[in-house]
Amino acid sequence: MDQPSFQQCHWSKEKKAKLQAFVEKLHAAWPIDRDYMPPPTRGKLVALDPALIVTPPKGLEVGYVPIVTHQEAQ
């Protein structure tokens, strides 16, 4: 776990491993097609571009967060 936002924390390997294990549990138990909070009682939700929902590489389905950095024609 070498996320840039956590590098400033100077955490031990053990603490990083504990956070990684927690994130992996979340990924395994929380599918993306479920509501986790009640809908708002006022205002509107934002919309996400479906192209930003990407599939992680095989073997990295849990504990890995793919981030779209570019696109190209296929």
How do residues 31-40 score in pLDDT, each as one tens digit? 888 888 888 8
Three-state SS sequence of 17-41:
HHHHHHHHHHHHHCCCCCCCCCCCC
Q: What is the mean pLDDT of residues 42-60?
A: 84
Domain count, the chain: 1
CA 63 to CA 1: how far, in whole Å?
Answer: 9
Instruction: Judge whether residue 54 has pLDDT over 90.
Output: no
pLDDT at site 18:
93
Which structural domain range is residue 17 located in? 1-74
Say whether 7 sits in a helix, a strand or coil. Answer: helix
pTM for this structure?
A: 0.59
* 42 pLDDT more than 90: yes
d(CA 69, CA 38): 31
